[in-house]
A and B are shown apart, each in its own frame.
Chain A
Amino acid sequence: MDFIEALLHTRSCSVVGLEKNTGKTVCLNYILRHLPLTARVAVTSIGIDGESKDQVTGTKKPEITLRKGMVFATSEKHYRMRHLVSEILDVSNERTALGQLVTGRVLTEGKVMLSGPGSTASIRRWMKEAEPYADLVIVDGALSRMSLASPAVSESMVLATGAAYSANIDTLVKKTAYVVELINLPKADEEEEGAEERISMDGAVTDRVLEGIMNKAENNGKELVIQDFTKVFADPMVWHRFTKSHHVYVRQRSKLLAVTVNPTAPNGMVLDSDKLCERLSEAINLPVYDLMKQ
């Protein structure tokens, strides 16, 4: 598939699900299965997203399948539960919600649950440390207000969406297109940092923030620079009103390679896969795949 080829040209890629059950793990496993055998790959996950839910409901966190030679990082707890033979390369001082972070190398193919570093700084550190072992780092990227780590640390990104995010094709396309629009925000020119015509902010971009900027006459025409797309929590209406009069840039940007869809919702409702792929692809101008059909 095309995006696998594109993915191999980047040094890191995060797989982001817009909602639980949008097929993020399917997508991750698909990528891992289709990478060429010669590729040197390291895999981890960001955050503790969904962790507590899983412990409450008792549903199993999905496992991913790793091939011999792949390097992975997971918490102590999930390392002990692994279903493969692996060699420990490092036990980091850094602690995750589930103990120390263990980096291992797969010796005999099998399954493992991933729960990696919990902050953007620590995921970045781990990606750096994994460099000697891998040409490509794949990050299981939780996209949630619960996670402190941002998937935007990776060079490229694959987005998983589906019926679980919205049961109506029109709404699903609209909502997904909004996230895609945010992911595709252009990268800020670092040299102009601190320029007068620019408003720089690190934190969350909410409706109030945007309205606050729009309401001040002196801000007219100024550009807004934010950390990355995950910081935007604004309502699409407010956002679009804002972007009519202001350009927005991000300091950290991932190149979106593809969008995958899971037409089946957890309640059993199924959307028309072909129609969904076509409509979405039209709206976002990117290839869209239903991985179950591949």
Chain B
Amino acid sequence: MKLKDIISTPCGLRYMADALDIQSGVARRMLIEQEMMTEAETISAYYDTLKQYRDTVAQTSNMIDVKNLQFRLTGLKDLHTTLLNLEAGHTLDDIELFEVKHLAMLTAETAKQAAALQLPAALPDLEEVVRLLDPEGLRIATFYVYEAYSDKLRSLRSALEKNPTDEQIFNQVQEEELRIRQQLSHELRPHAGMLRTAQQTMADIDIMLAKALQAHRLSLCFPQTGTETTLTEMWNPEVEEALRQKGKTYQRNSIHFGTEPTILTGSNMGGKTVVLKTVGLCQYLMQSGFGVPAAQAVMVPREEIFCCMSDGQSVAEGLSSFAAEMRGIDSVIRAARSGRNILALIDEPARTTNPTEGTALVSALVEVLKGTGISVLIVTHYTINAHACPCLRVRGIENGAMDYELIPAQEGEVPHEALRIAEQLGIDEEWIEKANKQI
């Protein structure tokens, strides 16, 4: 799975990716093309590096140098086509040679700045490339076929300067320039791989800096890998921002779950869906190497993550919401049966059908998934048979205010606060009163 495939999942991942202060288009493309990490060692190693970046950007004394390095990286360009041409043995033209020289000089400058900040970045030494394209040793990032390359060119150019309209001399100049460009391309060819590495490494630095700055700015944590999931004091930055704009605060909460179905219940408006989305967000962020919005996080790397949340997309596919939902959960069961290591987040399954069948479907789902070794969080309002699986619930309304804390619940304990909450929302009194009488 690449970041571009999961970025639209309705859990706030796009918000986090968009908030990254990435300087170059190359890095942005690389970020969204990045494969999700699935191995614990890879993830740990990635965060070890990111931690060094974070420690660097967190120091106030480094602020200006970091800004300068970021500014330097705005000059990073995508030389994909140019490098392909070079590798394929083509003769590069002035513009391409300019780009190569620019990249080589940018690499040297970036390496210097990164080293001064003690960032762990291994940029290749491209001095030989600079030397080839800067025969006068000016260290300026401009380029043309310099007279320093050949005496013949020098004399032809001075002849041209005296007779600017002489076609014959102009053609001779061009021929000599071509010969020199052919030779330069030939000499540059062995460096093509290193140039590519340099471009990728600089894009990496760009991404790492952006992630480190984000982690520092939002006080994100770097997660550990483990065999069970514990997210302490987690929050969803996108939801938090939306609340902040309305003058409200976000109540952070913690969750723990292992490798069996975990049931999550709670009153309406109790933030259950936000919990589900935030767990999904944290999981995606870890496997994409971002800081995680929690005080502490231990998570299990997964082969695949399933987010079964209604977002109205089924209309486009011509499926009813029920059919779309059933298909989504069906793929979770198939993946679970095939022994894949997955995390599934299922929001109110079978909520669009009658409660009798709905309850049966959810109870049976828990039974089917229990023992498959996958981690699954199921949010439901139904009083189901939880088959001795752990249950959590949102604490709910206390002293007239919603407490979003997640606490252990007894099996089958489903809060009945819908009417009370509707009342608080100022819904039609007669309606609520009549409903109360029915219970």
Within the complex, the shortest CB–CB distance from B181 to chain A, in Å, comes to 12
Tell me if A59 is interfacial: C-beta within 8 Å of chain B: no
Asked whether B95 is an interface residue with its Cβ less than 8 Å from the other chain, the reply is yes
Taking CB atoms, residues of chain A closer than 8 Å to B144 are 85-88, 107
Checking A85, A88, A110 against B98 with a beta-carbon cut-off of 8 angstroms, the contacting residue is: A88
Of residues 121 through 180 on chain B, the ones whose CB sits less than 8 Å from some CB of chain A are 142-144, 157, 160-161, 164, 170, 173
* A81-121 contacts to B (CB < 8 Å): 83-91, 93, 100, 102, 105, 107-110
Check B170 against A80 for contact (C-beta < 8 Å): no
Interface centre among A90, A91, A105, A110 (most CB of B within 10 A): A91
Choose among B77, B99, B143, B164 the residue with the greatest number of A CB atoms under 10 Å from its CB. B164
Chain A interface residue bracket vs B: 20 to 34
Cross-chain pairs A/B with CB under 8 angstroms, 6 sampled: A79-B94, A80-B95, A85-B160, A88-B143, A108-B157, A110-B170
Q: Is the CB of B170 within 8 A of A83?
A: yes
Name the residue of chain A whose CB is nearest to the CB of B145: A85
Chain A contacts for B170, CB-based, 8 A: 83, 110
- Give the shortest distance, in Å, between A200 (CB) and chain B (any CB): 29
Q: Which residues of chain B come closer than 8 Å to A68, judged between CB atoms?
A: 161
Interface contacts beyond A80-B95, A93-B25: sample of 14 additional A-B pairs, CB < 8 Å, sorted by A:
A68-B161, A84-B164, A85-B144, A85-B173, A87-B142, A87-B143, A88-B142, A88-B143, A89-B142, A91-B98, A102-B95, A108-B157, A108-B160, A109-B164
Check B164 against A110 for contact (C-beta < 8 Å): yes
For B99, the chain A residues whose CB sits under 8 A away are 91
Main SS at interface, chain B: helix
The interface on chain B, measured as residues whose beta carbon lies within 8 A of the other chain's beta carbons, has a size of: 17
Asked if A76 is at the interface (CB within 8 A of a chain B CB), the reply is: yes
Q: Most chain-B Cβ atoms within 10 A of its Cβ — which of A83, A85, A91, A93?
A: A85
- Whether, in the assembled complex, B21 has its beta carbon less than 8 Å from a beta carbon of chain A, the answer is no
Give every chain B residue within 8 A of A84 (Cβ-Cβ). Answer: 164
Interface, chain A (partner B; CB < 8 A): 68, 76, 79-80, 83-91, 93, 100, 102, 105, 107-110
Bound state CA distance, A87 and B141, in angstroms?
10
Could you tell me if B143 and A93 are in contact, using CB atoms closer than 8 angstroms? Answer: no
Query: B208 to chain A: closest CB distance in Å?
Result: 22
Residues of B within 8 A of A109 (CB): 161, 164
A184 CB to closest chain B CB (Å) equals 39
Q: Which residue of B lies closest to A88 (CB)?
A: B98
**A residues in contact with B143, CB < 8 Å:** 87-88
CB within 8 A of A79: which of B77, B95, B102, B164?
A: B95
With contacts A85-B144, A85-B173, A108-B161 taken as known, whether A93 is within 8 angstroms of B95 at the C-beta atoms is no
Chain B residue with minimal CB distance to A104?
B144
Residues of B whose CB lies within 8 Å of any CB of A are 25, 77, 93-95, 98-99, 102, 142-144, 157, 160-161, 164, 170, 173
Of B25, B94, B160, B173, the contact of A88 (CB 8 Å cutoff): B94
Q: How far apart are B98's CB and chain A's nearest CB, in angstroms?
A: 4
Ranked nearest first, the 8 interchain pairs of A and B with the lowest CB-CB distance are A87-B144, A109-B164, A88-B98, A88-B143, A89-B142, A108-B161, A108-B160, A87-B142
Residues of chain A lying within 8 A (CB to CB) of residue B77: 91, 93
Q: How far is the CB of A52 from chain B (nearest CB, A)?
A: 23
Whole-angstrom CA separation of A189 from B232 in the bound complex: 57
Tell me the complex Cα distance, A107–B94, Å: 14
Rounded to whole angstroms, the CA-CA distance of A83 and B160 in the bound complex is 12
Determine whether the beta carbon of A76 is less than 8 Å from that of B173.
Answer: no
CA distance A145 to B142 in the complex (A): 36
Among B93, B160, B173, which residue has its beta carbon within 8 angstroms of that of A80? B93
Rounded to whole Å, the gap between the CB of A275 and the closest CB of chain B is 36
Determine how close the nearest CB of chain A comes to the CB of B434; give it in whole angstroms. Answer: 52
Contact between A91 and B157, CB atoms less than 8 A apart = no
A82 — nearest CB in chain B belongs to which residue? B94
The answer to whether B95 touches A76, judged by C-beta atoms less than 8 angstroms apart, is: yes
Closest-by-CB residue of A relative to B101 is A88
Residue in A83, A85, A88, A105 whose CB lies within 8 Å of B95: A88
Contacts of B102 in A (CB 8 A): 91
Question: Please, which residues of chain B bring their CB within 8 A of the CB of A76?
Answer: 95
Give the distance to chain A from B223, nearest Cβ to Cβ, in Å. 35
Q: Contact: A108 with B164, CB < 8 Å?
A: yes
Report the bound CA distance from A93 to B25 in whole Å. 9
Q: Give CA–CA (A88, B101) in the complex, Å.
A: 11
- Nearest-neighbour CB distance to chain A for B268, whole angstroms, equals 45
For the complex, give the distance between the alpha carbons of A93 and B157 in Å.
31
Q: A79 — which chain B residues lie within 8 A by C-beta?
A: 94-95
Docked complex Cα distance between A105 and B94 (Å):
13
Give complex CA distance A83, B174 in Å: 10
Query: How close is A133's CB to chain B, nearest CB, in angstroms?
Result: 11
Nearest residue (CB) in B for A105 is B142
Residues of the A chain whose Cβ atoms lie less than 8 Å from the Cβ of B25: 93
